Every structure is written in C-alpha cells, then in structure tokens.
Amino acid sequence: MKVGIVIFNEVEVLDFAGPYEVFSKASKGNEKLFEVKTIGETGEIISARNGLKVLPDLSYQNEPISDILIVPGGYGAEEIEIKNPVMIEWLQSQENKVEILASVCTGALLLAEAGILDNKKATTHWMDYDRLEKEYPKVEVVRGVKFVDEGHILTSGGISAGINMSFYIIKRLFGAKVVKDLAKRMEYDIEI
C-alpha cells in the first residue's frame, strides 16, 4: 500500500516523522507493508519546526495516488497553510482518491477548512479544541481522545497521538499481530 505524508514549512516534526516511522517499519515477516513518501507543494526543500530541512519525495503535481494520506499539523498548518488555497484545493481533490485520509494534531484544521470534516466527529490538539469548534461549527469536536475514526476519515490529537493513530490504521488493515510485533520492535507502549 502507498502512504503519502504531506509536508510544508513549519510542519511539526513528530506529526509527520512519527507516522513515517510507523508505516515504514510495518511488515509481515520480510514483506514491507507500505511504501511511504513525503509530498510537498512544489517538491522543494521545506523548513519544518525548529529549522529541520526536509526534501519531499514528491510534489502535488507528480504524486501518485496514495492509499493513505496523512496531513500533519503544527504552526505551518494552523497559521500558514490554512490560508493557502493551493493546499486546501489539493486536499479537496485527494479526499475521494484515497482509501484513508488522516490528520495529526492541527492538520484537522486543514481538513476542516477544506470542508472534509463537515458533519463528522473529529479531534485535534487539546489547545485547539475551541478553535476547531468555533471556526468550524459543522464539525463535532471530540475531546480527550487520541484519535477519532470516521471510517474513511481519521483525526488524531496532538503530536505523538499520530503515532497511536498510525498503529490503529495498521491494525485495522492487517490485524493485531502485525501491530504487536511492530510496537515491540519500536519499543512503543500501546494497547492492542
């Protein structure tokens, strides 16, 4: 399966790197289960939070259709990309192309801005519950959870919750044994 992870300037590092690591390491025996690629608007180097430079694998124009698309958050999502019509329109175009569209942290604000969370339950970083609720009244905000599963759309809480959501998606697709083995290999404590 193909996993695309959107990256942009001022993206929260663990929001994209956590899911990247989880999906990249997932396997059944020697068979890797996912091909993971980062996707940037132009394909040029981005500067993540705290100055980490990252070169996306793909751009919006040359990205292959992903089975799973992860939209991280951070300052870049909530203050910059939320005002970027190219990002919002691209997300709208991806909604019906992917099997699973998932956000981490304030990536939920980007999905909400694109109208993707209308009439759905969703979560985000605890510091942004009120903003999500106030600015997007068609979204039913769920507080105090690691993630919310609405079938095709998943949202997760802040930063490290994206790792939990990634394990959950893998469990949903490939079962508990794959996740148990992966969590042990990564030394990550998770209820399975």
pLDDT digits (tens, 9 = 90+) for 160-181: 999 999 999 999 999 999 999 9
Structurally, at CATH architecture level, domain 2-186 sits in 3-Layer(aba) Sandwich (3.40)
**Backbone angles phi and psi of 149, in degrees to 5:** -105, 115
| Average pLDDT for 89-112 | 97
Per-residue confidence at 39, pLDDT binned at 50, 70, 90?
Answer: very high
Residues 6+ apart with CB under 8 A from 187: none
Distance from C-alpha of 104 to C-alpha of 129, rounded to nearest angstrom: 13
* pLDDT score, position 146: 96
Contact 70, 108 (CB under 8 A): no
What's the Rg (C-alpha) of the chain? 15
Look at residue 38 and tell me whether its pLDDT is greater than 80.
yes
> How many helices (H) and strands (E) would you count in the chain?
7, 13
* pLDDT score, position 65: 82
* pLDDT score, position 186: 93
35 exposed, middle or buried (CB, 10 Å; 0-12, 13-18, 19+)?
Answer: middle
Look at residue 75 and tell me whether its pLDDT is greater than 80.
yes
Look at residue 192 and tell me whether its pLDDT is greater than 90.
no
Per-residue confidence at 63, pLDDT binned at 50, 70, 90?
Answer: confident
Look at residue 68 and tell me whether its pLDDT is greater than 90.
yes
pTM for the whole structure: 0.95
Distance from C-alpha of 192 to C-alpha of 190, rounded to nearest angstrom: 6
Look at residue 64 and tell me whether its pLDDT is greater than 80.
no
3-class secondary structure, 147: strand
